[in-house]
Structure 1
Amino acid sequence: MSSPEDLADKFGELPDEVMAELQNMLRLYNIDAEELFFKWEGYCLKMGEDIKLNMKNITAFKDDAREQFEIEMRAKSKTAHAPAARGVQRAAKNAGDVFNMLDGLTPATPRSGPSAAKKKFEKAGYETPLAERTSKLAVGSPVGPGAGFRTPGAIASIPFSDRPDPGRVMEVLNPKIEMPQLPLPGSDGYQSRLKYTTIIEAPKFQYKPMYQKLNEGSLFLDDRIEEYAVAVQEEHNIPDDDFCNPCSQLPEEVVVVGRIVTDVMDSQKRTNEASLLLEASRAFGAGKRVRLDLSALKGYAFYPGMIVAFKATNPTGDKLIVKSILSPPRYFEASSFPSDLEEEVQKLAAGNLNVFIAAGPYTTDDNLDFEGLKELVDKIVETEPDAVFLSGPFIDTEHPKVKLGDFPVDMDNFSGYVLEDLFKQKITSQLNRITKSMVLLVPSTRDAVSKHVSFPQDRFPRKILGLQMNVQLLTNPCMVALNELLFGISSADILFHLNMQEVKATGKGIEMNTFHRLANYVISSSHFYPLFPAPEASQVGYTTPIDLQWMRLAGFVNSIKPDVLILPSNLPGTVKVVSGVVTVNPGFLSTKRTAGTYAFMTIQPPTKVLEEENIVPAPDKEFTLKRRVYNRARVEIRRI
């Protein structure tokens, strides 16, 4: 059992009564301090808010832990006492439908014999009404649960009208920039103020999903290492002879390049320093792996899939002793010709460029009312921003009611597509209220209406969802230009996934701010999802299907850093300038049990950029200027 010192090391200094409660939980569940701390982190994420360690919250945490423990014990008990499968038996005559799908819903499908009726009667006293029946029907069947049905396992949510601190600004970037008066006087809508361009190869995203070829996936992994080696060589002016195979005997210090991997096989266990290995490419080391010795480093931060370059030795051939880490290559910053910046100034003559940013889920787990989305659209219609970024999931496959088909179907307007009709009823009806703003939709792999189930992901279908023409459909991930501003966005929760898999030791040169460090992994790798492999469902609560052979589509186009990087995450909403990029996590508009957050951004025209460079009215196009959006943008994280 862990000591009080172990608890203090994980949780910090705590009052004696709180420490005593934590020690009781260690004894009760026979776990150590680290596992208890992981449970506490999971509880905080589930609640969707910052929670202090006091007696009130510890009591609620204990209740939640006890409930989870009981669920696990019941599941184990069912598995242990499950009867052995019997041989296939012939169906009795007059036994109703072949697969019992109709389950007595019509008079024409009676159950056979009194024993079946008795069994059904006995089950009715404690089973969820119609749960078995709805699970046997196709998703979204017109036959749904009756009145008073409550989805099993749903967490009681806080009513939207009672949500805490609506409208409160949680964080601000560049507060000295004044907020504009919205709607902008003299503005006639986004058409005259925005020039929209997608910076992607959209047809490539229409690949056949989840049809992977192992050799093509391995080629992508190899290419990432070799491309990184070339970039590091150019960055640090390293001779060719200095690069060596990390898996061979290396008595002298050399440069090695490879991918960080882990040998932790149990998804319930966290990756640690002892589990890290370096995997070479086939060209550099025949794809072999070697264990890492990081004891000589004062500080480090790694994650599985990270491409790294070390100065290291390997005297015995079975352990790579890392002496230092070579800094990653610096990629291009976005820039523009002066004449293009002048054109943008003219377009924004009425005032700043204004953008709303929000991410799904858009409703709590106990309903499909989408009250948060309605409130957000009310604000958009009232303020008339130029653009609105909305990322999925919209109709979430992980939502309890969507899983069970627990929602009504309008049979009078039934198109034959149940979930698409639900999208039109709940989402399209709201988006069609927005007429003076450009809406940019990014799907999620958890979107029930997306035909593309893997990442990278193709766009939503416009026609079947009934979306109007001011709605631009983006791939996931995507890079788009609004005038001269380059936006990058992905709905994959890479920040949360990296946070779960990261291995770090604080020391010299290691960024202490978690969000800054995680976002920098994405920017320095020039890739929207540098983690490999993706975490399992047991670690984050859902599956992230990665189509490895197409992951090149998730890289930054031409390795150019965007001006604004939008990375929605389960982590608390925040905004930071990371490596010169305005990086925004708007948070989720709805958590499992309460309303969440969104982001508002206002960006000044590039007038000062041109003035500081003393640009003449008709400049040549022989040079470009850095756009420096991090100095011109005010970003607020707001509660809905």
Structure 2
Amino acid sequence: MLTATAGTARDEVLSAFGPRLAQSPEVLERLVSYTKIFNVAAEDLHAKWEAYTLTPAAQRDDDDLSVPTLAHLDDLQTELLRKQQAAKQEAVLGSADSLLNVREVNPFTEGKMFTNESLQNLFSEGGQDKLGGFRTPAKVKRKVVPKDASTYSAGRFSASKGTPGGPSTPKTPVSMRFRPGDISPGSPLTPMRGMGERTTPVASPNAKVFADRLNKNKTEETLNDQVPLQKSKPDDAVPCEITLLPGQQTGGYRYMYERLMERGDYLDDRINTFADLITEAVQSRVKEEDRADVHVQHPGNPSQDTLFTVGRVCCDAVVEKAKLNDQSVVLEASRAIGAGDRVKINLREIPGYALFPGQIIGLEGMNASGRLINATKLYQPQLPAKATTTPSQLAALYPEDNPASERPVNVFIANGPYTLDDSLQYEPFEELVVEIEKEMPDVVILQGPFVDANHPMIEAGNVDMELDELFRVCIAPRVTRILQARKDNIKVIMIPSTRDACSEWVSFPQPSLAAGLDERAALERRRILGIPGEVMLFPNPVQFTVNEVVFACCSTDVLWQIAAEELARVPRPDAQHSGDPILGHKISRLFRHMMSQRSFYPLFPPALDDACLDLSRSAALELQATPDVLVVGSRLQYTARKVDGCLCINPGLLVKGRAGGTFAKMCIWPLDMARVRAMVKQRDAEAMDVDEQQVEEHAIANALDERCRVEIQRI
């Protein structure tokens, strides 16, 4: 019995960390022991490992963090022990929010008030020494002296001799500040003439470590390795037509004008819309004579019969930043379905589920008291229809007389930030540009942030130039080099981020990088940033097509935010409903949440620190169809997976702290055009037989997940 339990734990660890872990048996056994010692599930242990990889301690060496090593596990064990000890101490003493800590009690006085007589007795008994700890400390004059005065330059940081306080300590040494002369577009370590006072560039402490990294250009993951990889030809461009889908937030708008009634109406309409979709799906599963009995009911009405209802998942907790757990799940109905009532849900009879605040679900259960629904079934909304293309459209995209129509379209996808945490010289972005110049793909998708507002040097103000100028000096020239790699035959798409310091919009959905309230303002903004006119500036999020392939891209880290709020129970292997492999894989499950909820941001309430959600522009957040490719840049583990027929890609971050990250490469082969053209000719013949009346075309599924190769490559 013990062997079976150990084998089950080992299988769970392999499922959470990936099959590559089997190549390191010592690491595998160590992780299995951690699950027992710290009483933590394998999936939760993997989440703790992902959180550890983002810390400076994990990134101090240029190691491959996709698979744990014994050295890193020692640091992880120290962190787990620290959290375990803190949890024990909190259990004994109570947390800071505990009712026991609301009122401080003086152990010496035991809550009694002093009188003149008792105070005199206290001093006579030696209480003066005991009260010394409660006295106001005397002021002590301290002189602040720099540790090494030679590191600070004279000039504007030096105090004048007549200053009464003496020399002051500057916030940042001059040698560590960034100036325009520290960088050039061609080489990150070559100064530009006439743009700054410095003549010698200042490389970051980790620039040499990054340049000497051992895992350069290493392929970390491959999807559909049976699909051949064929590079583009520089002198013969593949037909590549890029079109925005209607309804995108391309233009600027005035935000912070959202009314509370608009937000309430949006949430109500969303519940009512999904109620119709879920009801229709449930009715299709029952007999035709029983379909009339399937209708949405008020979740708060007490009844001994089984009820069916639809609502939004919420957290029943008044504490700020409270997380969802199996005891705090409530269902909120719309005003039309249940007058906006919230009813608690009991999930004990559900073998497996994945819930998060804001998710719209349907459920069956019994509510005998009117206050608690004992759920027996949960229903998720069906995915939207998949993207299709007619044969005539495919024939127009891939002309028969063009030999290049038989070759694949190569796409590069990168997600910011693009520079190291202790540098603004954009060394990783320079490496990416060099790789693009060598490979010469057909399409390059660059997602922000380009000038990260959360960069430590920008937050500290250690930049002697405007942030727009930083973009114009460090980003725009390199984008121009990408365009010139194939004589303007490369399509470059730039998608902003809400963390972009050079963007005037921080709300989500976010207009394009150089957007304005009118066309004239947008053109002026593009000129200030120095973005070439050939670059396509798309909003965030965005849906567009590359030939017939539908892309849906988002630079906001929605996956991380949903993962932080998600409550999931993975069914055991012997459970009745354990046939869904996606439910057991966390990142695939997060991608499915976005598609089933038909939204780029299904989480509500939104994350306070990263998403200024403007629901008055909610139409731009809706997925119009199940895309062929869903790209979401996230700090979670990079991945490329098939989820319900959709290629879901997290290219990872190009830079992780002070180390290089990853980007994605796609090789998209066209459909069998000979078969498609035969279908077009057959349709034309049928049209002639019926006196040239228009014959309805049957749309063809794009089936991209079978003809596309995806590689996650390290920079």
Q: 1:404 to 1:40 in 2, by over 3 A?
A: same
Gaps of 5+ in 1: 27-31, 70-75, 85-103, 135-141, 410-417, 538-542
Q: 1:637 to 1:328 in 2, by over 3 A?
A: same
* 1:624-635 map, 5 Å: 624-635=699-710
| C-alpha displacement of 1:523 | 1.0
Alpha carbons 1:345, 1:607 under 8 Å: kept: no
* 1:254-403 map, 5 Å: 254-266=307-319, 270-346=323-399, 348-349=404-405, 351-403=407-459
1:170 partner SS: strand
What residue is the counterpart of 2:585 in the other structure?
Answer: 513
AA in 2 matched with 1:437: I
| C-alpha displacement of 1:482 | 1.6
Number of matched pairs: 564
**Partner Cα distance (1:342, 1:66) in 2:** 63
What residue is the counterpart of 1:230 in the other structure?
Answer: 276
Q: 1:371 to 1:66 in 2, by over 3 A?
A: farther
CA RMSD of aligned residues (A): 4.1
AA in 1 matched with 2:493: L
Q: 1:265 to 1:11 in 2, by over 3 A?
A: farther
2:398 partner SS: helix
Alpha carbons 2:312, 2:359 under 8 Å: kept: yes
Task: Indicate whether 1:59 and 2:59 are aligned.
Answer: no
Q: Deviations over 1:137-164 (max 9, x none)?
A: xxxxx9999999999xxx9688222334
What residue is the counterpart of 1:44 in the other structure?
Answer: 53
Alpha carbons 1:339, 1:621 under 8 Å: kept: no
**Partner Cα distance (2:431, 2:174) in 1:** 33
AA in 1 matched with 2:389: S
What residue is the counterpart of 1:446 in the other structure?
Answer: 499
**Partner Cα distance (1:16, 1:622) in 2:** 55
Return the structure number with greater relative CO, CA threshold 8 A, min gap 6.
Answer: 1
What residue is the counterpart of 2:639 in the other structure?
Answer: 574
Identity across aligned pairs (percent)? 30
Q: 1:211 to 1:419 in 2, by over 3 A?
A: same
| C-alpha displacement of 1:356 | 0.7
Q: 1:431 aligns with which of 465, 479, 490?
A: 479
2:254 partner SS: coil
1:182 partner SS: coil
**Partner Cα distance (2:339, 2:678) in 1:** 51
AA in 2 matched with 1:215: M
**Partner Cα distance (1:533, 1:220) in 2:** 13
**Partner Cα distance (1:36, 1:606) in 2:** 42
Gaps of 5+ in 2: 1-5, 15-24, 85-95, 97-132, 137-154, 179-194, 284-290, 484-488, 515-525, 572-576, 685-694
**Partner Cα distance (1:502, 1:609) in 2:** 47
Alpha carbons 1:352, 1:602 under 8 Å: kept: yes
What residue is the counterpart of 1:468 in the other structure?
Answer: 532
Task: Indicate whether 1:421 and 2:469 are aligned.
Answer: yes
**Partner Cα distance (2:452, 2:82) in 1:** 25
* 1:462-501 map, 5 Å: 462-501=526-565
Alpha carbons 1:158, 1:594 under 8 Å: kept: no
1:475 partner SS: coil
AA in 2 matched with 1:525: Q
What residue is the counterpart of 2:668 in the other structure?
Answer: 603
Task: Indicate whether 1:214 and 2:226 are aligned.
Answer: no
| C-alpha displacement of 1:452 | 0.6
Q: Deviations over 1:420-472 (max 9, x none)?
A: 11001111010001223010111000000111111100111122211112210
Task: Indicate whether 1:549 and 2:616 are aligned.
Answer: yes
- State TM-score, norm by structure 1: 0.78
Q: Deviations over 1:58-103 (max 9, x none)?
A: 333467789999xxxxxx9xxxx9xx9xxxxxxxxxxxxxxxxxxx
Q: 1:573 to 1:58 in 2, by over 3 A?
A: closer
| C-alpha displacement of 1:383 | 2.4
AA in 1 matched with 2:619: R
| C-alpha displacement of 1:203 | 5.8
| C-alpha displacement of 1:627 | 1.4
Q: 1:429 to 1:64 in 2, by over 3 A?
A: farther
Report the structure number with the largest CA radius of gyration.
Answer: 2
What residue is the counterpart of 1:415 in the other structure?
Answer: none
Alpha carbons 2:294, 2:308 under 8 Å: kept: no
AA in 1 matched with 2:556: A
* 1:612-627 map, 5 Å: 614-616=679-681, 619=684, 620=695, 622-627=697-702
| C-alpha displacement of 1:39 | 5.3
Alpha carbons 1:357, 1:388 under 8 Å: kept: yes
Task: Indicate whether 1:159 and 2:224 are aligned.
Answer: no
**Partner Cα distance (1:129, 1:21) in 2:** 47
> Which deviates more, 423-432 or 34-43?
34-43
| C-alpha displacement of 1:208 | 1.4
1:258 partner SS: strand
Q: 1:170 aligns with which of 193, 209, 220?
A: 220
What residue is the counterpart of 1:92 in the other structure?
Answer: none
* 1:404-419 map, 5 Å: 404-409=460-465, 418-419=466-467
* 1:79-158 map, 5 Å: 105=156, 114=164, 116-117=165-166, 121=168, 129=173
Q: 1:267 to 1:166 in 2, by over 3 A?
A: farther
1:583 partner SS: strand
- State TM-score, norm by structure 2: 0.70
1:159 partner SS: helix
2:545 partner SS: strand
Q: 1:523 aligns with which of 585, 595, 603?
A: 595
| C-alpha displacement of 1:332 | 1.2
AA in 2 matched with 1:170: E
Q: 1:481 to 1:611 in 2, by over 3 A?
A: closer
Alpha carbons 2:668, 2:707 under 8 Å: kept: yes
AA in 2 matched with 1:374: E
Q: 1:42 to 1:183 in 2, by over 3 A?
A: same
Task: Indicate whether 1:637 and 2:712 are aligned.
Answer: yes
| C-alpha displacement of 1:380 | 1.7
2:314 partner SS: strand
Q: 1:37 to 1:565 in 2, by over 3 A?
A: closer
Alpha carbons 2:394, 2:676 under 8 Å: kept: no
Q: 1:379 to 1:17 in 2, by over 3 A?
A: closer
Alpha carbons 1:145, 1:406 under 8 Å: kept: no
What residue is the counterpart of 1:589 in the other structure?
Answer: 654
> Which deviates more, 34-43 or 374-383?
34-43
AA in 2 matched with 1:395: V
**Partner Cα distance (1:514, 1:212) in 2:** 34
What residue is the counterpart of 1:179 in the other structure?
Answer: 229
Alpha carbons 1:205, 1:457 under 8 Å: kept: no
Q: 1:585 to 1:246 in 2, by over 3 A?
A: same
Alpha carbons 1:360, 1:391 under 8 Å: kept: yes
**Partner Cα distance (1:367, 1:269) in 2:** 36
Alpha carbons 1:279, 1:290 under 8 Å: kept: yes
**Partner Cα distance (1:165, 1:444) in 2:** 28
Alpha carbons 1:158, 1:593 under 8 Å: kept: no
